[in-house]
Amino acid sequence: MDQTKNLAPKGHNRTRSAVKATRPRSSTKGPLDIDDVPPALAPPLSPQTAQPVVPLGQQPPRSPGLASPLPRSAAHSPIPRLPTPRPKDFSYLLRPEIYHPLTSLNVPPPFRASSKQPSPDTPIPELLARGQFRAAAIAATQALTGAGGTPAPDSTDHARIFELLYTRLACLTLIDATALAAQEVKSLEDLNSTFYTDEATGLHLVPWELRVLNVRLQAMGFGDPRRAVMSYYDLAREARARLADATARHDNSARELWKDRLADVGVRVAGALVEMDDLTGAAHHLASLKDRGDGKMAMAKALLWLHLGDVEAARRCVKPGELGQVAERTIAALCDMADGEYEAALAQWGELKEQSEDEMIGVNMAVCLLYVGKMQEGKALLESLVDSGRSSHTLLFNLTTMYELCTERAKALKIKLSEKMASTEESPSGWEKTNADFKL
Amino acid sequence: MSHQRYPSHDAVKEPHSVSLKVLRLSRPSLVAQYPVQPPSTAATAQHNPPPIPASLAYYHDDNGAAANDEQAGRTTQTNPHPFILSPIVNLPPSFGSTYVGETFSCTLCANHDVAIPDLPAPLAVLGGADPDRPRTLSSTSSASSRTAAAAAAAAGPKNKKKTTIRDVRIEAEMKTPSSATVTKLELTPPPPVGSGSGRTDLHPNETLQKVVNFDLKEEGNHVLAVTVSYYEASDTSGRTRTFRKLYQFICKASLIVRTKPGLLPAFMGRRRWVLEAQLENCSEDTMQLERVVLDLEPGLDYSDCNWEASGSGGGSSSPTKPVLHPGEAEQVCFVVEEKGGGDGEERVKEEDGRVVFGVLGIGWRSEMGNRGFLSTGKLGTRHVKPRQRKA
């Protein structure tokens, strides 16, 4: 833990809990509302909100029910405050023991043996563009830890370190290894700590996307889903402040950026509530958000009601003309399915399929076909989607389920499917699949 | 097993050329997605980039599809990312739990399996005893696995001879805990008009698929018995073969209903009672109450004091229906009164000094609109004498 010793300036702390909503009420104006941005908002994360980074291994036990996002007690790090700003040392993120080895055992042999497996020296951006997320996750770790020949980044090069760490964590979530990511993310400790603030500019050193991803992963890693809601609100608070700042400076592109980010975080709060199975809370929260003219909000609301089982409420979300026609009819067809009217839904999907190449429409139509006793047609439809290059987890899951239903030797069909998928072109949609995708 | 065995015409202990696979058809579920952004490459990203396609639940070609939609500015975007739920659906991943009040749906697939000769053949343990042994219906794969897998593999060498499968027929019955007899289940879709007997010929690798529905009304052990019969013809001979598989599952209580009647002062000479009920969700799923209604005996009327009446929901067009998480309870209340005027009073049914109100019906929906409905037994209260009189 030596390398973390000098991380945490300790001083007189003001706990920030007073400004944190424990459980945001959606009925009142909150930091997620774009309107009413107070023009005189202080810059985010003012320096006196110092919070120490507790070295790994010295964390006080966390109670999942506790409404505290992160330990902010200074008692565990008796470290003197550093007198002057100097380059911060992020070497604690470069330790190899943080990162789990990734096995290829859950990758079907046709992928492992494929000539498309990238060579170890392939640059990470290329790996991402090719959808080689497992390889990219490994490459990011190697770059961080200095394994595999290249030297590790300088421990003060935070931009590079965070970029690699983000790549690592994001890729883990894409290869069905979110649980590992939730462990590895713990090494970041408390991103609200002033340690992560650039003392010169007052801005956060960690890229926004990593901070957003960190919320969900740390909530998982620490087993405290409620914390995700609060952490998103923290981000939203900062986004509002930056938005106000950009507005004051008449910086339109920054304004759009922070508006987007604020809206994004707002929707993610609803997602966190869904993950906590607080569906009515999520519904209330969504109702408090504004549609941004892209129809996504109506779709999100309708899906949430359907998930809860309230088909009537889902239907009410569709106001004629507000959504694109395809989205509107998609909701209508899903409502029919929720009502058990699979024949009616099938007819709707059939008509939608004429209009759109959307993978979702084909997959949902195939599912309906199974429910009305036409699995053979459904299977053929899914196979045609595979042939046209579609490869979502859902598509493969549903197709292998049909394979299991239509023969005793489903395994042979699944292996054949995995061979077919391994021979498809690489794309940013992801190339390598796992055994679980084929139910192998 | 207490129920009768299916009379087997099948003296031959040989692997079957037809396999049976089943999948419980609960509602399909919306797929969750966790959109992540690509790592920002430029030091200062000036816009919020779209998420990595692989982090979305399905592929959507924005550019290609946009042209098809006439509405100005609106693309055919259907994915509400970064929202967690997406409109694409998954087939049921597992059997799950079954609850009283729900409709049990299941698809039955009779497949003409052509074995692959180079598959290793496990020992075939097929015979009269095995198919009749009840198995736990846990998921698709385990549901019908052993016997028929062995059958297909073991049948390999034999089936190199050309075998045709004709007149395939599926029958299904449900055995419920309390009843001594079985209920024959209707199979959908019905056979095409003109085919008569409901028998189908199956070419190799073809499937005869049926769906059965059954309203679950009792707690306890249920057994779904499926019988498949077919005519197997080879070049030289033919025979009718039959096998039967049993799938056992346990149906659990979904809702505990506690009721309490009480007397209210009579109004305009009409007797009045209050009927309270607590509805407790004892399932493992979240449910939303859709309607709670009284089905009363003649001569009685009631008014609802619940969410429909109070119009809760803060001025929205329709009231918010109560959501019950597992273990939560909702209290409902009704005022029951005699119908006024004429011979109304005489028509109120009384048995052994008891006023019988009628039954309470509760309808609910759970994930993805799955329906449940149950009704109580006859509810009532002791007839209290003397009747209160009021002008």
Smallest CA–CA separation between B73 and chain A, in Å?
9
Burial group, residue B308, by CB count within 10 angstroms (0-12, 13-18, 19+): middle
- Residue B75 pLDDT level (bands cut at 50, 70, 90): low
CA A307, CA B29: separation in Å to the nearest integer?
A: 8
A381 within domain boundaries: no
CA B282, CA B324: separation in Å to the nearest integer?
A: 10
CA B72, CA B215: separation in Å to the nearest integer?
A: 48
Looking at residue A278, what is its pLDDT?
93
Looking at residue B139, what is its pLDDT?
43
Contact B111 A406 (CB under 8 A): yes
- Compute how many other C-beta atoms are within 10 angstroms of the C-beta atom of residue B72: 5
The strand pairing partners of B112, in sequence order, are B18
- Residue B77 pLDDT level (bands cut at 50, 70, 90): confident
Q: Is the pLDDT reported for residue A42 higher than 90?
A: no
Among the partner-chain residues B54, B91, B323, the one whose CB lies closest to the CB of A398 is B91
Contact B65 A358 (CB under 8 A): yes
Contact B367 A309 (CB under 8 A): yes
- Most A CBs within 10 Å, among B16, B62, B89, B145, to test the A interface: B89
- Compute how many other C-beta atoms are within 10 angstroms of the C-beta atom of residue B102: 24
Q: What residues of chain A, 115 to 174, have a C-beta less than 8 Å from chain B?
A: 125, 128, 131, 133, 159, 163, 166-167, 170, 173-174
Mean per-residue pLDDT of chain A: 83
Among the partner-chain residues A178, A395, A409, the one whose CB lies closest to the CB of B152 is A409
Q: Residue A109: is the preceding peptide bond cis (ω within 30°)?
A: no
Q: Give tens-digit pLDDT for B253-263.
A: 999 999 999 98
- Structural domain boundaries enclosing A115: 85-189
CA B67, CA B65: separation in Å to the nearest integer?
A: 5
Residues of chain B with CATH 2.60.40.10: 255-382
Looking at residue A295, what is its pLDDT?
83
Q: Is the pLDDT reported for residue B104 higher than 80?
A: yes
A91 within domain boundaries: yes
> Which among A259, A258, A325 is positioned nearest to A292, based on CA atoms?
A259
Looking at residue B84, what is its pLDDT?
96
CA A418, CA A437: separation in Å to the nearest integer?
A: 9
Looking at residue A30, what is its pLDDT?
53
Among the partner-chain residues B21, B53, B287, the one whose CB lies closest to the CB of A404 is B21
Q: Give tens-digit pLDDT for A94-140.
A: 999 999 999 889 999 999 999 999 998 899 999 999 999 999 999 99
Contact B209 A393 (CB under 8 A): no
- Residue B76 pLDDT level (bands cut at 50, 70, 90): low
Looking at residue B68, what is its pLDDT?
43
**Average pLDDT of A190-195?**
89
Looking at residue B384, what is its pLDDT?
60
**Average pLDDT of B149-161?**
47
Among the partner-chain residues A267, A373, A427, the one whose CB lies closest to the CB of B210 is A373
Q: Could you give the percent of chain A with pLDDT greater than 70?
A: 81
Looking at residue B197, what is its pLDDT?
61
- Residue B237 pLDDT level (bands cut at 50, 70, 90): confident
Cα-Cα-Cα-Cα torsion B142, B144, B147, B153, nearest 10 degrees, comes to: -80
More confident call, B41 vs A168: A168
Q: Give tens-digit pLDDT for B302-353.
A: 998 888 776 654 445 567 899 999 999 999 999 999 887 555 455 677 777 7
> Hey, is the C-beta of A319 within 8 angstroms of any chain B C-beta?
no
Residues of chain B in contact with residue A279, where contact means CB-CB under 8 angstroms, are 286, 323
- Most B CBs within 10 Å, among A407, A411, A434, to test the B interface: A407
In angstroms, the Cα distances linking B180 to B2, B104, B171, B176 are 8, 20, 19, 8
Q: Is the pLDDT reported for residue B154 higher than 90?
A: no
Residues of chain A in contact with residue B37, where contact means CB-CB under 8 angstroms, are 170, 209, 212
Q: What are phi and psi of B159, to 5 degrees?
A: -75, 5
- A275-289, A325-339, B72-86, B364-378: least confidently modelled range: B72-86
CATH of B255-382, one of 3.40.50.2000, 2.60.40.10, 3.40.50.300, 1.20.1250.20: 2.60.40.10
Sequence-ordered alpha helix ranges (H) in B215-361: 307-310, 344-347
Q: Is the pLDDT reported for residue A84 higher than 70?
A: no
ipTM: 0.84
Contact A358 B76 (CB under 8 A): yes
In angstroms, the Cα distances linking A318 to A266, A289, A302, A314 are 21, 16, 8, 7
- Residue A8 pLDDT level (bands cut at 50, 70, 90): very low
Smallest CA–CA separation between B288 and chain A, in Å?
7
CA atoms within 13 A on the CB side of A70: 27
A425 within domain boundaries: no
Looking at residue A5, what is its pLDDT?
39
* Residue whose pair of structure tokens reads 């009768």 in the numeric block: B4
Among the partner-chain residues B59, B80, B119, the one whose CB lies closest to the CB of A299 is B80
Domain count, chain A: 1
- Name the closest residue on chain B to residue A404, using Cα atoms: B141
Contact B365 A310 (CB under 8 A): yes
Residues of chain B in contact with residue A357, where contact means CB-CB under 8 angstroms, are 61, 64-65
CA B30, CA B348: separation in Å to the nearest integer?
A: 49
Q: Give tens-digit pLDDT for A388-399.
A: 999 999 999 999
Contact A309 B368 (CB under 8 A): yes
The strand pairing partners of B239, in sequence order, are B232
CA A126, CA B37: separation in Å to the nearest integer?
A: 16
A125 within domain boundaries: yes
Q: Residue A108: is the preceding peptide bond cis (ω within 30°)?
A: no
CA atoms within 13 A on the CB side of B386: 3
Mean per-residue pLDDT of chain B: 79
**Average pLDDT of A223-231?**
93
Q: Are B225 and B182 in contact (CB under 8 A)?
A: yes
CA A53, CA A191: separation in Å to the nearest integer?
A: 9
- Residue B55 pLDDT level (bands cut at 50, 70, 90): very high
A255 within domain boundaries: no
**Average pLDDT of A304-318?**
94
Q: Does the CA dihedral B146-B151-B157-B163 come out positive or negative?
A: negative
